[in-house]
Amino acid sequence: MAGSVPVAKALADIYPPTALPTQLPRWNDLLQGFEKKYGYRASNVARSPGRVNIIGEHIDYSLYAVLPMAITADCLLAFSAKPSSSPESFRIRIANVDDAKFPAREFTLPADGGFEIDATVFEWSNYFKSGLRGALELLRKKRGTDVKLHDIDLLMDGTVPIGGGLSSSAAFVTSSALTVLLANGEESVDKKELTELAIVSERAVGVNSGGTDSPRSMDQSASVLSEQGAALLVSFSPSLEAKPIKFPPTHPELCFLVAQSFVTSNKQVTGPVNYNLRVVEVSIAAAYLNAVLNPPGTPLPEDAGPLGISLHGFHDNYFYHQTASDLSAPKSISKEEELNKLIAMVKETLTQEEGYTREEVAKVLGISVADLEKRFMSKLPVRAERFKLRQRALHVFSEALRVLQFLAVLDRSVEPGATDTTAFNQELGRLMNESQDSSRVLYENSCAELDQICEIGRGAGAYASRLTGAGWGGCTVHLVPADRVASVEEALEREYYSKREMSDEQKEQAVVVSRPGHGSAVYVVQ
């Protein structure tokens, strides 16, 4: 996770060879556009990609590791800077190649960084401002309060679809912060610092917060820290860590195809019956298991976090270790074995398929219904008669296990003599398909359209098709051999997209094909 954001002298340092024919003209247009707009040439381009989660869905807020990757689609910010003429303020001019949709903005801001960002309205330049504010804080921390700030001119080109579950926001915020740091004289930017500042900055914009404070850091981590040809294992405990996991060079034919469903699930509106309800359900399930399986009086952790409930509930630091210490098995049992044990315990302990009422849960926890609601549902209001603790817990533990199994397959496939790539791909595919089954049946975060898209993908030759991101609509990811990409795209068009009313923009953004790509980079214009 250490090191600086790489400096690129050529586009080949940023994209895989297959992407160059489309990227070269795009970059030329961007640089020419900058010169035309501002009357002089850009000095640099800051670049951060979008991301897609390959496997590990709805387990980040239980603090289990997830496996996203950076995609080719990205946010580019061409920029140039000069020292501000005033010590009290500095000027930002930011424009977008799509100026009909994202009109140019100009603002003069106080040098002390004390400016507001109105998160209640959608304003595209807010994402820049939030990266800017985070970057200024870091600069002041490093250099003291009297940093001499620069005026910056920028032109943006973003290809990550907005609201498509590919984290266009993280791409925009990280490239903005990177720009501001470089424009203000940082010679190099530490990747870890950039990631951490972007996580905090994006929270401040407040958009897409969905009412939860899950470690959404997977987005910024994947955008900044990814390496070409590798997925990124993001783990959250004991602290945020990210480790590139290489796909074997013998898998050149593997592509990830991301297909939108164009069913939208607005977390703000549907949270009480989907995303937030799941967060509450897993927290209650952890408390229930704790009460039944751990010695009497074992408390729930006090550091319940900003929600006032424990998002740590399922993680090894808490329930899992305490329970594991009760087991006769030696401490050294593998994580896989521990997860398997947990799955078995859930099956024995949480037997009610139909779910649990508030009264039933409260009784087992030894608290009143009012206390249960206060403890688990006051910060995240939910609407539910019954909580499906068994199914949600089984999903979390089995999905965490699948992430480990996915890593193990990748590990085996890079061993010398491992030549049967098709067998490995099929195994990776099987795990991703099982993830989809678990989402559909146990976590119930799929929907008819996502299920249909997955069936179409698999039918047309994908090794795997699953929803990615929160679900209930949104986006799917397909593991596809390169020679089947066209057939999967055709099948999706014929059997899904052609049957829907779609705008031209949606048609353009429906499918994105990518291999695991580079994270953030800065390009120096020659």
Residues annotated as part of the active site: 219
Among 4, 43, 89, 208, binds Mg ion (CB under 5 A): 208
Rg (the chain; Cα; Å):
24
Q: How many angstroms separate the CA atoms of 106 and 121, rounded?
A: 18
CA-based nearest residue to 113, from 142, 86, 93, 139: 139
Return d(Cα 135, Cα 15) in angstroms, integer: 26
Number of residues that bind Mg ion (CB under 5 A): 3
How far apart CA 85 and CA 83 sit, in angstroms, is 6
Task: Pick one of 62, 96, 126, 169: the residue that binds Mg ion (CB under 5 A).
Answer: 169
Our CB check for Mg ion shows the closer of 169 and 509 to be: 169
Taking Cα atoms as reference points, which of 125, 153, 156 lies closest to residue 29?
Answer: 156
Q: How far is the CB of 52 from ligand NG1 (least distance, A)?
A: 8
Bridge partners of 82, per DSSP, are 151
Residue 169's binding partner among Mg ion, ligand NG1, none (Cβ under 5 to 8 angstroms by kind) is Mg ion
- Least CB distance from residue 150 to ligand NG1, whole Å? 31
Query: How far apart are the C-alpha atoms of 300 and 342, rounded to whole Å?
Result: 18
In angstroms, the CA 172 to CA 136 distance is: 16
The DSSP call for residue 214 is -
Residue 214, binding choice from Mg ion, ligand NG1, none, Cβ under 5 to 8 Å by partner class: ligand NG1
Least Å distance, CB 474 to ligand NG1, is 6
Q: Which entry of ligand NG1, Mg ion, none binds 262, CB below 5 to 8 A by partner kind?
A: none
Minimum distance between the CB of residue 51 and Mg ion, rounded to whole angstroms?
Answer: 10
Q: Which residue is nearest to ligand NG1 (CB)?
A: 469
* Maximum CA extent, the chain: 73
Whether 66 and 56 have beta carbons less than 8 Å apart is answered as yes
Which partner from the list Mg ion, ligand NG1, none does 191 bind, CB cut-off 5 to 8 Å by kind? none
- Contact residues toward ligand NG1 (CB under 6 A) are 53, 57-58, 60-61, 165, 208, 210, 214, 216, 218, 469-470, 474
Give min distance, CB of 53 to ligand NG1, in A: 6
Residue closer to Mg ion, measured from CB, 393 or 470: 470
- Which phi and psi (to 5°) does residue 55 adopt? -155, 155
- The CA distance from 390 to 384, in Å, is 15
| Smallest distance, Mg ion to C-beta of residue 194, A | 17
Nearest CB to ligand NG1, comparing residues 248 and 469: 469
Euclidean distance between CA atoms 58 and 470, whole angstroms: 7
The residue (of 333 and 441) whose beta carbon lies closer to ligand NG1 is: 441
Q: Which is nearer to ligand NG1, 57 or 427 (CB)?
A: 57
Interface segment toward Mg ion; rule CB under 5 A; list 3-11, 32-40, 165-173, 504-512: 165-173
Contact 57, 275 (CB under 8 A): no
Contact footprint for Mg ion (CB under 5 A):
167, 169, 208
